[in-house]
Amino acid sequence: MDKRLERILPRVQKPARYTGGEYNAVMKNRDEVEVRYAFCFPDTYEIGMSNLGMRILYGIMNEMEGVWCERVFAPWGDMEEEMRKSGMPLYALESGDPIRDFDMVGFSVGYEMAFPAMLNMLDLAGIPLRTEERTALSPIVYAGGSAMYNCEPIAEFIDFASIGEGEDSTVEVIELYRRAKREGWDKPRFLREVAQIPGIYVPSLYDVSYNDDGTVAAITAKDGAPAKVTKRIVQDMNKAYYPAKTIVPTTEIVQDRVSLELFRGCIRGCRFCQAGYIYRPVRNRDPELCAEYARQACADSGYQEMTLSSLSSSDYPGLLPLCDELEPFCEGRHINMNLPSLRADNFSMGLMQRLAKGRKTGLTFAPEAGTQRLRDVINKNVTEEALMQSCATAFAGGYNAVKLYFMLGLPTETDEDVLGIAEVANHVVHCWRENAANHNRGLRVTVSTSWFVPKPHTAFQWEAQIPKEEYERRVELLRGAMKAKAVTYNWHAPDTSFMEAVLSRGDRRLGKVLYRAWELGSKLDAWEDYFSLERWMQAFADCGIDPHFYANRERSRDEVLPWSVIDCGVREDYLWNERQRAYEETTTPDCRSACGACGASRLIGRKCDG
């Protein structure tokens, strides 16, 4: 261990974040390694180590001969301060070596508010922030994750972006880099070649021009780059890597349990949900294989809790048989199974009985909107009757806590829709009174609302986010309508949602704003402890850019969107048609009947045609 680190650790919170040495962490002989890869997560250890995607890619890369992938997380403020005072650069947990000496630096980014942390980590590592300042082949800096479906705001800081699922493309990128290193390529040649790998987007190979009104006029590929970059997917989940033998943290993390991935994609087609579109088509993993992975992961790690995870886990066709298969193993080892959130229209007595064999934690449902009209607008395809039936089933089975998630500011939302959220909460209270198996324990209903952010590659990507003042008015309207003592109302602070809307729909001109915000002190802006809207507004003012142009402006059908080079696999005219159907208050059946890609393996990998 670096002597500077020994002196620092007693002075910081949670020093185990920074020491490494965990069970199953991969150690390799430096002399036998040809490519060193720093796998960076622009958030704290507790968040990054809870990310299943990071664990998957860590395992895949370390199975490659001659490649050593090591983990790097953003330090908390106290640790960063101590590192800067002592002149200690950002280092990898496995070896303790500075990441500026690595061949490749890859970021996993699922949230736009992590962009400042990326810049801060590069600076702390002593790596130049802008790609034009990094002229050598090493280090190559790139990023993957769902936030890369519009990476334009960080285009000047990354050499390229990996679009879609990275299991296959990561291996291809590393092998190309290995060849480039052996043959002595320069960086421009490597970037031209890596752009030919499907799913790889190299921003510097695209020229962007703008209209007089500030909108994008054209995005033009050059030097042989493809006109469209189509996302990568894993076609067969039964052959996909699962980290059954994975790192066991020595300190508590957010998701401190086995996470068993059942399938990818979502059949539902909610019009606001980016994940529901970008992860299409649905691909299931066989229940028998899931059960085997679960047994291996729990036995190896010693965890006594397991989450059956996917975008909509209760839609997994083999869920009940899987629970039955795992029941003897879980009972024998006192392992609790749980689902992170449930669909209100398919929560059954059978499912409840299986989940209830573990601890009776609260159940979570996401109706998203307070009236049926607005649920039809967003294509939620859930009725209040279905929600009440699910609650009745849960209450009869002994549950006494329910969390309900909604959004405010959805397209066409009225005050009646807002007040409908309070009515739904009151109906849940009444449902408990009529169906609870035990009234002595009391009821806890938690209603949470967030501010709708229109996301790229969704049916609502053309929408405007409502103004902050209007969002706050709707919060107060709903707050005043919450009367039941059993109901607790939580609402998301608006400032971060505003900036999320700006960054998620921004173009590459926002790069200078991001840089200026970092200069002013932005870093861990996904945390309220560090986020400051005033700082961001100062950065916008300093750069002469209006953030409302990005967040609060409706787009026209013929406008060139900053992310239009990226193909998420769902046609744009299909998304536009879904937007039109939203304003007609017309629902679209789930993609088991509408899409065609989910149920036929031969179609996986083709563009979803809706």
Task: Find the domain containing 44 and state its range.
Answer: 3-230
Q: Looking at the structure, tell me whether residues 128 and 198 fall in a common domain.
A: yes
Q: Between 94 and 601, name the one with better pLDDT.
A: 94
Q: Looking at the structure, tell me whether residues 226 and 248 fall in a common domain.
A: no
At 340, the pLDDT band (50, 70, 90 cuts) reads confident
How many structural domains comprise the chain?
A: 2
**Chain-centroid distance, C-alpha 106:** 16
Q: Is position 469 within any domain? A: no
Beta bridge partners of 336: 305
Arithmetic mean of pLDDT, 348-354: 67
Q: pLDDT tens for residues 81-140?
A: 999 999 999 999 999 999 999 999 999 999 999 999 999 999 999 999 999 999 999 999
Q: pLDDT tens for residues 216-253?
A: 999 999 999 999 999 999 999 999 999 999 999 999 99
CB of 370 within 8 A of CB of 406? yes
Q: Looking at the structure, tell me whether residues 44 and 168 fall in a common domain.
A: yes
Q: Looking at the structure, tell me whether residues 305 and 159 fall in a common domain.
A: no
pTM: 0.94
**Within 13 Å of residue 42, how many CA atoms lie on the same side as its CB?**
30
Q: Looking at the structure, tell me whether residues 217 and 242 fall in a common domain.
A: no
Which pLDDT belongs to residue 313? 86
Look at residue 278 and tell me whether its pLDDT is greater than 90.
Answer: yes
Q: Which residue among 164, 197, 230 closes a domain?
A: 230
In sequence order, the 6+-apart residues with CB closer than 8 A to the CB of 228 are 565, 566, 567
For 268-336, what is the HEC assignment?
CCCCCCHHHHHCCCCEECCHHHHHHHHHHHHHHHCCCEEEEECCCHHHCCCHHHHHHHHHHHHHHHCCE
Q: Is position 68 within any domain? A: yes
Q: Looking at the structure, tell me whether residues 199 and 307 fall in a common domain.
A: no
Q: Looking at the structure, tell me whether residues 322 and 184 fall in a common domain.
A: no
Look at residue 14 and tell me whether its pLDDT is greater than 90.
Answer: yes
Q: Which residue among 230, 264, 292 closes a domain?
A: 230
Which pLDDT belongs to residue 593? 42
CATH number of the domain at 579, please.
Answer: 3.30.750.210
Q: Looking at the structure, tell me whether residues 282 and 155 fall in a common domain.
A: no
Mean pLDDT rounded to a whole number for the chain: 93
Dihedral in degrees, nearest 10, Cα atoms 574, 576, 580, 581: 30
Q: Looking at the structure, tell me whether residues 264 and 143 fall in a common domain.
A: no
CATH number of the domain at 187, please.
Answer: 3.40.50.280
Q: Looking at the structure, tell me whether residues 57 and 128 fall in a common domain.
A: yes
Q: Looking at the structure, tell me whether residues 281 and 159 fall in a common domain.
A: no
Q: Looking at the structure, tell me whether residues 211 and 323 fall in a common domain.
A: no
Look at residue 587 and tell me whether its pLDDT is greater than 60.
Answer: yes
Which pLDDT belongs to residue 596? 33
Q: Between 436 and 347, name the one with better pLDDT.
A: 436
Q: Is position 415 within any domain? A: no
Which pLDDT belongs to residue 580? 98
In sequence order, the 6+-apart residues with CB closer than 8 A to the CB of 158 are 107, 131, 141, 142, 143, 151, 203
Q: pLDDT tens for residues 460-509?
A: 999 999 999 999 999 999 999 999 999 999 999 899 999 999 999 999 99
Q: Is position 58 within any domain? A: yes
Q: Tell me the chain's radius of gyration from C-alpha atoms.
A: 24
**Within 13 Å of residue 275, how many CA atoms lie on the same side as its CB?**
9
Look at residue 600 and tell me whether its pLDDT is greater than 60.
Answer: no
Which pLDDT belongs to residue 610? 43
Which pLDDT belongs to residue 359? 56
Arithmetic mean of pLDDT, 263-280: 95
